[in-house]
């Protein structure tokens, strides 16, 4: 018996999706550090990926990231301590906490979008623009189909 994980033993869809994702994530966060944001970690992506421009409730971020409210509150608190977000009372429900990007947080958000686009372009250079467009279309169709099947 070899020493492979279940994903490695068979090229599962999850493994096939995860390998490029993890590589892209490592590249993007290394470049983010080089842009002057060395304290933002991949774990913080759960906040930056799901936060809305005007802010999001901790509970909504946690639900979107499929993590506990406590874990999301910890990540948001970490970003608050680093100056990337503010945590305020939600004006619609004073019991709820709203996570709002600061100017520095918006700068990270903008940099992440720019770096993501550059990473996608690099992938397109590796496999060809046509194949990259096909891959994007297939993944979008698969996501839509999965979402429809879960209704």
What is the residue extent of each domain of the chain? 7-146
In CATH, the architecture of 7-146 is: Orthogonal Bundle (1.10)
Q: pLDDT tens per residue, the chain (151 residues)?
A: 578 877 777 788 888 999 999 999 999 999 999 999 999 999 999 999 999 999 999 999 999 999 999 999 999 999 999 999 999 998 888 888 899 999 999 999 999 999 999 999 999 999 999 999 999 999 999 999 999 999 8
Angstrom distance (rounded) from CA 37 to CA 104: 9
Grouping H, G, I as helix, E, B as strand and the rest as coil, residue 106 is helix
Helix (H, G, I), strand (E, B) or coil at 87: strand
Q: Give the contacts of 18 (CB within 8 A, at least 6 positions apart).
A: 7
Q: How many whole angstroms separate alpha carbon 144 and alpha carbon 151? A: 11
Q: What is the largest CA-CA distance in the chain?
A: 58
């Amino acid at each position: 018996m070899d020493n492979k994980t279940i994903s490695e033993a068979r090229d599962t869809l999850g493994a096939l999706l995860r390998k490029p994702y993890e590589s892209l994530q490592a590249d993007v966060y290394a470049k983010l550090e080089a842009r002057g944001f060395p304290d933002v970690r991949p774990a913080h992506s759960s906040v930056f990926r799901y936060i809305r421009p005007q802010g999001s409730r901790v509970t909504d971020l946690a639900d979107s990231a499929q993590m506990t409210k406590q874990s999301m509150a910890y990540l948001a608190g970490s970003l608050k301590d680093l100056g990337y977000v503010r945590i305020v009372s939600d004006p619609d429900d004073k019991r709820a906490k709203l996570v709002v990007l600061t100017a520095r947080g918006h700068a990270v958000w903008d940099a992440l979008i720019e770096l993501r686009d550059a990473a996608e372009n690099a992938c397109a250079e590796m496999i060809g623009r046509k194949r990259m467009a096909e891959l994007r279309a297939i993944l979008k169709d698969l996501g839509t189909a999965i979402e429809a099947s879960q209704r």
